[in-house]
Structure 1
Amino acid sequence: MKKILKQTPSGGISFFDLLLDETLCTGEIAVEKKLIIQAGGINSYLRAKQKYELFLRIAATWNIDFFETTEADSSYITLEDDPAFTAETGWQTDCYIAGKYSQLLRENNLFDLVIESLLNDANLENRQEDTLHFLEHMIAHDDIYWHIAEGSCPILIYKGDDICHNVLNIFAEQFGKALKHTGKKVVYFDCGKEDLNTLTSYVDQHFQAIIGVQSYLFSIKMKDELHYLHEYIYGPKYNFIFDHPIWMKSHLMHHYPDFSVLTHDANYVSFVQKYFHTDAILFPPAGIVPPVDVDIAHPHYGVTFVGTYGDYMQEVFLIHQLERPKRFLANKFLLKMRQHPHMTSENALHEVLSDQGLDVSDEEFVTIFYDLRRVIYCVMHYYRYHVLRTLLDNGIQLDVFGDSWYHCPLRHYKNLICHPNVTVEESLSIWQHSKISLNIMSWHKGGFTERMANIMLCGAVLATDDTTYLHKDYSSDDLIIFSLDHPEALARQIQHLLTDETARQAMAQNGKDKTLTLHTWSKRAEQFLEILQERI
């Protein structure tokens, strides 16, 4: 038999029953997961009595009772008593509870009784001054109180940007789903469907975290044009960005004290910290574990590439439209990256400026970099074209997906098989049915992307250009890592694996196993909650 907590139509154990006798909820107790989520989840910001405080929150909202049953299944979570509980830590939770429910206690003439009990215990344990000081903060509901209380507030996620074939919305949904699975309450604001004016309804509300996915919402100002809206929406704020931070320049100029950037590239962490004076955390997106496909034992494709063709010459044309001084620097910038494909774009630009004898401030550098930012796309398209052409010249059949390929200069190759645009879900199926799939970074020299994770989770061998991030967790036994300036070596590796199915399957399995451990959204949710916990 198992003891479970369930909602009841009426009667049962009241909030005040639990408040005055916490032994009612001692021992292992199973609770419906959806009830835990609705109540805000376990508040891990409390040092002790987390289960007890959760049950009080549930009892404050719903009628509940405890039952003996054998029915507890996977929809229930079993909670145990806190083994670390001591009087030294437990009294702080008691003070927090008294502060949280102070108004309710007053309305029921219990406030003085509870406070007197807390102070009597403090006297017995010789901590009167500490208790009184902490209790004052809890009753005042000041910043110290909310630093704890936000641990049971919802997590707010912004979604609604449908660029990149809806990839950003998929990130928001997958991340939110994984956080919910941990027992957190997650709410969404969809800026693609909801009036932005309704965002003001969150003013003066507290959240455990506010997460934007490459979002511009953190830049919205109040009518006075001096203050930002998010100065009045409380909780730690995180903008999850996936391009070079220079593209987000206008959205990274604000300086909230509780704002951080999550980014997939270690170099971007340093860039944000140095040039935008903002906290940044290395936090790459994860992959989606695909549904089981019974037909994946017989791949339909040899080598695939799911992504757009970018026109290098069109980007060169746009660069030539710049003013003469900028055009001169842009050409030098592009040449530097073409000659040094392992160099980050910011380092390449620094060398160009140094070569020209230009000594600029950090602020001036950011302005110049922003004006020349399209050069990054230009060099990416240049190398994407040359890598693919080398594979085609070596007789490797490439199945490419995206309407842009129908009109690219490589179209005349008979071994280039073009397919229409695909959704994220369709991409997963393609990778499940691929032997090898190609990834060419958008010049992320220290990063890891969802495409890389998805390819490996789907059971294909990932072939990607080198980034420093990979060497931390992966080896040449797990995936193909190639240099942009040596695509002929990539062609040889692909040809070898296409003729050695045993070696290919072993590499694919190695990559999949490591990625299942390191790069699922469940893992990211766990890591994100650790980030939040470190704030306490």
Structure 2
Amino acid sequence: MKRVLRQTAEGISFLELLLDETICEGDILIPKELILLAGGRNDRLPAKKKYELLLRIAQRTSFDLTEEPSGDMGMELLTNDTAEETADGWKTDCYIIGKYSQILQENQVFEMAVASVLEEAQSHGHYEQAVSFLEAMIGHAELFYELDAPTEPVLIYKGDDVCHNVLTVFAEQFGAALGRAGAQIIWYDMANQPLEELLQYRNRHFKAVIGVQSYLFSVKMKDEIHYLHETIYGPKFNFIFDHPVWMKKHLEHQYPDFYVLTHDADYVAFVQNYFRKNAVLFPPAGIEPTCKNEVTRKYDLTFVGTYGNYWNEILLIHQMERKERFLANRFLLVMRKNPDLSSEEALKRALIFYGRSVDKKEFVEILYGLRRVIYCVMHYYRDRVLRVLLDSGLTVNVFGDSWRNSPLAAYENLICHPDVTVEESLLIWQQSKLSLNIMSWHKAGFTERMANIMLAGAVLVTDDTRYLEGRYENGKDLVSFGLAERETLPERIKRLLSDEAERVRIAESGREKTKQFHTWDVRAKEFLELLETLNKNGR
């Protein structure tokens, strides 16, 4: 009969288990919530994974192992090692001695534990190897931290209130999903904790350190030479959801273990090429509605986004110096005429037009100086797409004060609603038959708005992005359109609104595909797999 691990007020103590691993011999059913509480299994260990996990559980709660019958629901079965694993058991013994050396010394059993491991190594003919390995574990050499990393917590930075708190929502959703996947999470809240509190993490090791468009990786020590994160150990990841050039000042540091996570394949290439940084295509995910009951879809067509005035951006361009102004105008013109081009490709064409040859560093400086031109063309096409829809007689429901003061407010069929939070926008999409997305010039990207719309059961109507190729099918999972072909969009939308069965079919297909590939739980699994890949490749 399998033994079952049960939490008890008094039971097997941590020290008792540490000194006698035979206590956990045999097959043991362990509640999954306790495995998560302990930080999950450590699959980097060569052997004795069950024993090592039980030690971490015993540190957090007392338990007994009973031989009572139990269903397997909510349980995970851990078995004894295979013969091959047993041969490497001494390595895990060395690791455990290194991890808990202070406790062993406090209880005056450290020397006994060391002698026991070395005696076994002597009998199996690998004494010298064991001595070297044990020294690395006790001295907490790099090899120790490689083995220990899966048991370390993940440090996540949150608290940025940009864009209706959306970055904090990203951090919280991702952190919660990582927690469900077995990671322990430590939060640093920028909004409520002073910067000095980051110092408590110096000289600590983490499974990962994660920021969401965060400036914290650029924080320097008082000497203005060294960065704080030089002494916060573990791979560091910064989600970036704008064009990377906007984060230029925060991508100039040099950490060998720093990675940019971005939602656009073009941005991956840009970061690698111009900033010489590691970059991974890792788009944000969507949030599944908490209300599972069917909500009345009272809106035919919605757009949850802000209105930006194109002409205000034009005025800023006209205030530039003559040489910059000419280049900015050409840059804008190239993007307007070629709406499928990425901003960096458009700038290259503008520079060629003026016969200018620049190196990579100068190119980044120029793009950074002209970065608002990207917003300008985005505002231009957002306005043009909405005008086409409104001119066709379609009613468009928009949200936020920016629309009430926009030129489009003159249209009677533009229905302006109050601003909404991230959470409220999820309900809006549940109440929508179709919802519009217009990219912020992410030509190979995927955004949380796209995922949220589809998870809410609305049909996503979006301008083209190369990310969709091979992942979603136009007309089957969503409706996509080229910005240059926007005149065809009203008829496609009207046709769907008049064919409820087809609309529902597309919405359901999009929802199912997004549930499969674009939830935060999926992202958490992919991230943990990424950590393992980086470890195997030596980061």
* Equivalent residue, structure 2, for 1:4: 4
Cα displacement string for residues 422-478 of structure 1 (whole angstroms, at most 9, x for unaligned residues)? 111111111111111000000001100000000000000001111111113111210
State the SS of the aligned residue for 1:254. Answer: coil
What's the counterpart of residue 111 of structure 1? 110
Is 2:2–2:26's contact at 8 Å kept on the other side of the alignment? Answer: no
Q: What code does the residue aligned with 1:303 have?
A: L
Q: Deviations over 1:250-274 (max 9, x none)?
A: 0111111111010000111111111
Does residue 512 of the first structure (1) align with residue 516 of the second (2)? no
What is the CA–CA distance in structure 2 between the aligned matches of 1:505 and 1:111, rounded to whole Å? 66
- Are the aligned partners of 2:462 and 2:479 in contact in 1 as well (CA < 8 Å)? yes
Q: Secondary structure at 2:470's aligned position in 1?
A: helix
1:135 CA displacement: 1.9
Q: Per-residue displacement from partner, 1:5-40 (whole Å, max 9, x unpaired)?
A: 34433343443335433452531322361x434433
Distance 2:75 2:390 in 1: 54
Report the counterpart of residue 408 of structure 1 in structure 2.
Answer: 406
- Alignment match of 1:323 (pick from 321, 324, 327): 321
Structure 2 equivalent of residue 380 of structure 1: 378
Distance in 2, Cα, partners of 1:211 & 1:253: 18
TM-score by length of 1: 0.95
Residue 284 of structure 1 aligns to which amino acid in structure 2?
P
Amino acid at match of 2:62: N
1:161-206, Cα deviation, whole Å (9 max, x unpaired): 1111111111111111111111211111100111111111111111
Q: Deviations over 1:49-89 (max 9, x none)?
A: 32221111222454332234567797x54242277661354
Structure 1 position 345 matched with structure 2 position 343: yes
Cα distance, 1:490 vs structure 2 = 1.6
Map 1:488-527; keep pairs closer than 5 Å. 488-527=487-526
What are the ranges of 5 or more consecutive residues in structure 1 without an aligned counterpart? none
| Cα distance between partner residues in 2 of 1:15 and 1:372 | 63
Amino acid at match of 1:39: A
Distance 2:403 2:2 in 1: 60
Task: State the SS of the aligned residue for 2:144.
Answer: helix
Cα drift, residue 124 of structure 1 = 4.3
Provide the residue aligned with 2:527 in structure 1.
Answer: 528
The aligned counterpart of 1:449 is 447
Post-superposition shift, 1:229?
Answer: 0.4
Deviation of 1:513 (Å): 0.4
Partners in 1 of 2:94 and 2:447 — Cα distance?
45
The residue that corresponds to 1:462 in the other structure is 460
TM-score (norm 2): 0.94
Separation in 2, partners of 1:478, 1:254: 41
Q: Does 1:206 align with 2:205?
A: yes
Report the AA paired with residue 509 of structure 2.
N
- Contact map agreement 2:264 2:445 (CA 8 A) in 1: yes
Matched with 1:335 is 333
Q: Which runs of 5+ in 2 are unaligned?
A: none
Say whether the 8 Å CA contact 2:219–2:228 is kept in structure 1: yes
The aligned residue for residue 440 of structure 1 is: 438
| Contact 1:4-1:72 within 8 A present in 2 as well | no
On the 8 A contact 1:119/1:131 being kept in 2, the answer is: yes
Matches within 5 A, 1:289-300: 289-296=288-295, 298-300=296-298
Counterpart CA distance in 2 for 1:164 and 1:366 is 25
Q: Paired residues, what number?
A: 533
Which one is further off, 272-281 or 488-497? 488-497
Write out per-residue CA displacement over residues 236-260 of structure 1, whole angstroms, 9 at most, x where no aligned residue. 1100110000000001111111110
SS in 2 for 1:193: coil
Q: C-alpha distance in 1, partners of 2:313/2:135?
A: 62
CA distance in 2, matches of 1:187, 1:529: 16
Q: Residue 424 of structure 2: which of 419, 422, 426 is its match?
A: 426
Question: What residue in structure 2 maps to residue 21 of structure 1?
Answer: 21
Task: Decide whether the 8 Å contact of 1:29 with 1:79 is kept in 2.
Answer: yes
Q: 2: CA distance between counterparts of 1:472 and 1:133? A: 50
Contact 2:21–2:51 under 8 Å retained in 1:
no
What is the aligned partner in structure 1 of residue 57 from structure 2? Answer: 58
Instruction: Find out whether 1:78 has 2:70 as its counterpart.
Output: no
Structure 1 pair 68/136, CA: closer, same or farther in 2 (3 Å)? same
Q: Secondary structure at the match of 1:176?
A: helix
Asked if the contact 1:2–1:68 (Cα under 8 Å) also holds between the matched residues in 2, the reply is yes
Matched, 1:171 2:207: no
Q: Give the corresponding residue for 2:31.
A: 31
Give the distance between the partners of 2:497 and 2:230, measured in 1 at CA: 56
Q: Which amino acid aligns with 1:21?
A: E
Give the drift of 1:351. 1.4
Deviation at 1:420, TM superposition (A): 1.0
The whole-number CA distance in structure 1 between the counterparts of 2:405 and 2:59 is 63
SS for the counterpart of 1:288 is: coil
CA positional deviation for 1:156 = 0.8
CA contact (8 A) 1:2 1:30 kept: no
Structure 1 pair 126/491, CA: closer, same or farther in 2 (3 Å)?
A: farther
Q: Is the 8 A contact 1:5 1:32 kept in 2?
A: no
Q: In terms of mean alpha carbon deviation, does 2-11 or 440-449 score higher? A: 2-11
Q: More displaced, 85-94 or 235-244?
A: 85-94
- 1:305 to 2:318 alignment: no
Kindly indicate whether the alpha-carbon contact (under 8 Å) linking 2:157 and 2:214 is maintained by their aligned counterparts in 1: yes
Find out whether 1:371 has 2:369 as its counterpart.
Answer: yes
Q: Describe the SS at the equivalent of 1:473.
A: coil
Instruction: Output the amino acid matched with 2:12.
Output: G
CA positional deviation for 1:46: 2.3
Secondary structure, aligned partner of 1:535? helix
Alignment-derived partner of residue 276 in structure 1: 275
CA apart distance, 1:410: 1.1
**1:284 to partner: Cα distance:** 0.3
C-alpha RMSD of matched pairs (Å): 2.0
- 1:399 is matched with which residue? 397
